Amino acid sequence: MSKKGYSKQDRERVGQDLLAVGLEMLSQRGLKNTKLQDILQAVGISKPFFYNNYYTSLAELVIHIINYEVPLLLQVVGEDAARQDITPEEKIERLLYRVTHSRQHHLFVMTQEEEMWVYKHLGPEKFATYQQGQVRLYEQVLSLWHISQEKCTPKELGNLILSVVLIYNSAARSLPFFFSEELERTAQAQVTALSRYLASLVDTEE
């Protein structure tokens, strides 16, 4: 398709479709099994139209898809944080369970292999911008959980969450000595332990 015949509103709609369709495909298939052409075909545009109007590469689109799901994730965290019928530990555990079992919740969380692929194809400047966005995400999560940054920095929170998620997503392929048949029990133990630790940092009201 050419740029001609597309209004500004049409291009904005297609841009949103790229993010929504891309998120659904990546969350269910993973990056390895998702080709750019799959997304473009589902949205109904050509590669030239994509490159001329939206992104320079699949890696750049992937980063924008991750950024696209950030407010969706924060909305869920905020809804859980406002609940009075569950404990702070349960609120934290619910997020950790979602990102660990991302496919069930239609979230895209990268594996170790996917992270390395995106990192290699992004370039330093775009990667630094992405990292800054991730720090802002973790800042907001800490705020919703009422955990001060003196007790846990946003980068520390990111590392803690990713340490659980990456083992769950990547262990079977990248850790040959890992007992994969115990993956679920291991992940649950890690989620429980991390939730308990983070809940101990919550600022309690006087």
* pTM exceeding 0.85: yes
pLDDT tens-place string over residues 12-26? 999 999 999 999 999
pLDDT tens-place string over residues 37-87? 999 999 999 999 999 999 999 999 999 999 999 999 999 999 999 999 999
Angle 22-24-26 from CA coordinates, rounded to 5°: 65
Mean pLDDT of 96-105: 95
Residue type, 46: S
Nearest of 154, 183, 189 to residue 167 by alpha carbon: 183
pLDDT tens-place string over residues 140-198? 999 999 999 999 999 999 999 999 999 998 887 788 898 989 999 999 999 999 999 99
pLDDT tier for residue 5 given thresholds of 50, 70 and 90: low
Query: Residue 2: is its pLDDT beyond 70?
Result: no
CA distances from 40 to 1, 26, 68, 152 (A): 11, 13, 17, 41
Phi-psi region of 146 (alpha: psi -120 to 50; beta: other; left: phi over 0): left
- Identify the pLDDT of residue 70: 96
Which percentage of the chain shows pLDDT scores above 70? Answer: 97
Angle 49-21-28 from CA coordinates, rounded to 5°: 135
Query: Residue 206: is its pLDDT beyond 70?
Result: no
- Identify the pLDDT of residue 1: 44
Query: Residue 205: is its pLDDT beyond 50?
Result: yes
- Identify the pLDDT of residue 7: 87
